[in-house]
Homo-oligomer: A and B are copies of this chain.
Amino acid sequence: MKKDRQLILALDVLSQERALELAEGLAGYFDAIKIGYPLILAAGLGIVGKVSRLAPVIADLKVADIPNTNRLICEQVLDAGAGGLIAQAFVGRDSLEACVKAARDRDADLYVVTEMSHPGALDFMAPLAERMAALAVEVDASGVVAPATRPERIRAIRSVIGRRVIISPGVGAQGGSARDALQAGADYLIVGRSVIEARDPHAAASALLQSLSP
């Protein structure tokens, strides 16, 4: 992924028609488009290939299974056209290695969830975030996912992962500040609702991009 605009679009809609309409209109503002299971289940795996013709696709599957199942999931979504994938670290080293291998074999990126922005993430995940970030480095993942809602946590994760990429959800609708997240060390901001649910998504994306330019 070429670091150009520092923005990733979370294409959080449930119909293929709306997804393609938004992706076509907004691809120029973003470095990549993130697609999750709700859209893939609704539209079928083919949506990954269709969107990937407009922008690089990061499949946000939060893959969290045994190594062989992780491999089968990653292979299918990468072969469908995704250039990147998001996996959970919580299931452990071998499960994560299966994802990294599937990605590397296809010149794709694997991002590891170290922390999440919802309240429940404090129950089990938050205390393990640094250890999961260290595991991401050990398995040679491309980068990690860390919430823009907690810039101090981005700093902590950055100190663990060195120069690997940090992609950060939580800017906009969830209250995270774009500038704070970037200053704390995020490489890419993941933006969804604040753009796609805006009355004028183009204007919202354009304003966001402008706000980031020095």
Known A36-B65, A65-B36, A90-B88; contact A76-B121, beta-carbon cutoff 8 A: no
Contact B132 A120 (CB under 8 A): no
Interface string of A57-88 (1 = CB under 8 A from B): 00001101111010011001100000000001
Taken together as a complex, chains A and B put the C-alpha atoms of A67 and B119 apart, in Å, by 9
| A76 and B42 in contact, given A69-B36, A123-B92, A125-B92 (Cβ under 8 angstroms) | yes
Contacts of A65 in B (CB 8 A): 36-37, 62
| Residue A38 CB within 8 A of the other chain | yes
A: contact size bracket: 35 or more
Decide: B69 and A93 in contact? CB cutoff 8 A.
no
Contact yes or no, A41 B36, CB < 8 A? no
A128 within 8 A of B: yes
**A92 in contact with B67 given A38-B76, A44-B44, A124-B128 (CB within 8 Å):** no
> 24 A-B contacts, Cβ less than 8 Å apart?
A36-B69, A37-B72, A41-B73, A42-B45, A44-B45, A62-B65, A64-B90, A66-B116, A66-B117, A66-B118, A67-B120, A90-B90, A90-B125, A91-B116, A91-B121, A92-B121, A92-B123, A92-B124, A92-B125, A93-B120, A94-B119, A124-B128, A124-B131, A124-B132
Question: Which residues of B sit under 8 angstroms from A112, Cβ to Cβ?
Answer: none
Whether A32 is near chain B, meaning CB under 8 Å from some CB there, is no
Distance A172 CA – B210 CA, assembled complex (angstroms): 59
* Bound Cα distance A73, B38 (Å): 5
* Chain A contact residues, CB within 8 Å of chain B: 14, 36-38, 40-42, 44-45, 61-62, 64-67, 69, 72-73, 76-77, 88-96, 116-125, 128, 131-132, 135
Chain B residues near A131: list those with CB within 8 A. 124
- A95 contact set on B, CB distance < 8 A: 118, 120
Residues of B within 8 A of A44 (CB): 44-45
